[in-house]
Amino acid sequence: MIFLYKVAIFLYSLVVRIFSHFNEKARFFVKGRKNWRKNLAEKIDGNERYIWFHCASLGEFEQGRPVIEEIKKQFPERKIALTFFSPSGYEIRKNYDLADIVAYLPCDTKKNARDFISLLNPEKVFFVKYEFWYFYISELKQREIPLFIISAIFRKNQQFFKNTPWGKFYRKMLFQFEHIFIQDEPSAQLLKSIGITNYTVSGDTRFDRVAAIARNSKDIPAIEKFRGNTPLLVAGSTWKPDEELLVEYINNNRHAKFIIAPHEVSEVNINRLLKMLKVPTIRFSLIEKEEIDNFRVIVIDSIGLLSSVYRYGSVAYIGGGFGVGIHNILEAATFGLPIIFGPNYSKFKEAVDLKSRGGAFTISNFNQLEVTAYSLLYDNEAGKKASETCLKYIAENVGSTALIVKKLLIAGPVS
């Protein structure tokens, strides 16, 4: 199986290199790993001790971030190394101020893992949620460097729980972790079923993150003025299928106001969206130059604003549900916004939880969007009930970071 794993990694790297000639994300992937040994060596201070956090992408970073911040708060003398697998994480967070080193994780080969860990020589290592790289995990175990995974969540159909050659190969990786911090009890039962007992049900660290976002959200006076006393639907991280439904609803709605923050903020995509909208619409970057009361829709044409924009909303629509899965709904829920999303949400525990409790609602077509949005925007009782459900759910689930750090200190001090 190791041979097949090596072949898979090789083929993946080869395909990415081919795509890098005409795909921007693949180009960043390849360019960011060029001369990585030299670049990493120049960043490392041999007199310091590093704690290494690895995240697949931006979503996993948001889960790891509360733990990074708490460790940095309690042990400010420690250096933080942060790695990403995906360009969508690295390019956005490469200047994260609490990390002393931010880098791409080299592809998982035996030599790369050995060289990377030799250079960094981390004191402790944290993988966030889903990352399982055989050679990195094996090298850390061989060097007796404690490896933890945080905010992990497991499902029965994952390879770890299948009695196949691949399943047994991946299952062995789980036994190499010092401790596994998981989100829920079903994950605990799955781990127990294969003989793993070194776990703690600690919940999802994203709840701590979004609670902090709510406390520290930025005032945006122009959006407050834009909203006025009118119901406001904020559509976050939308994709084309989401936008087609939303635009039809917006173009036929004369009473509410709307903010759309598309997942892709390229000029081509922003202009496509602007052309679809048949009501007065303005880009966020231009709102200081116009009388904002004259517009019905704001299109967010930059990144980093969405989490603060939600505070002004009445209802949130979260994109991605007509693709591989929805984006982060907790940033909206922490402000008490009732949530609407598309049909592909079953892999997201918080979406399942909030839908079952009545704080979130799923739609599959325009008619369902129209009925659901109307109810939440204009029926005060329905909107209030859903809002209270979301706020209660967030409050019940904060505290994961404190539990993880406490357990770490018991298991082995950082200092």
Distance CA 184, CA 171 (A): 19
For the segment 246-269, the average pLDDT, to the nearest whole number, is 94
pLDDT tens digits, one per residue of 168-184: 999 999 999 999 999 99
- In this prediction, residue 385 carries a pLDDT of 97
Going by pLDDT thresholds of 50, 70 and 90, the confidence category of residue 410 is low
Tell me the CA distances in angstroms from 226 to 220, 229, 290, 328, one per residue in order. Answer: 10, 9, 11, 25
* Fold (topology level) of 31-212+398-411: Rossmann fold (3.40.50)
For the segment 159-167, the average pLDDT, to the nearest whole number, is 92
Residue extents of the structural domains in the chain: 31-212+398-411, 220-397
For the segment 383-408, the average pLDDT, to the nearest whole number, is 93
- In this prediction, residue 200 carries a pLDDT of 95
Helices marked H in 228-348 — which ranges? 240-251, 267-276, 306-309, 330-333
- In this prediction, residue 288 carries a pLDDT of 82
For the segment 87-114, the average pLDDT, to the nearest whole number, is 94
- In this prediction, residue 131 carries a pLDDT of 87
pLDDT tens digits, one per residue of 21-69: 988 899 999 999 999 999 999 999 988 999 999 999 988 999 999 999 9
pLDDT tens digits, one per residue of 313-329: 999 999 999 998 999 99
Give the DSSP H or E segment for 149.
strand 147-152
Going by pLDDT thresholds of 50, 70 and 90, the confidence category of residue 413 is very low
31-212+398-411 and 220-397 have identical folds: yes
pLDDT tens digits, one per residue of 219-242: 999 999 999 999 999 999 999 999
* Candidates 3.30.930.10, 3.30.1330.50, 3.30.450.40, 3.40.50.2000; CATH matching 220-397: 3.40.50.2000
- In this prediction, residue 415 carries a pLDDT of 47
- In this prediction, residue 207 carries a pLDDT of 94
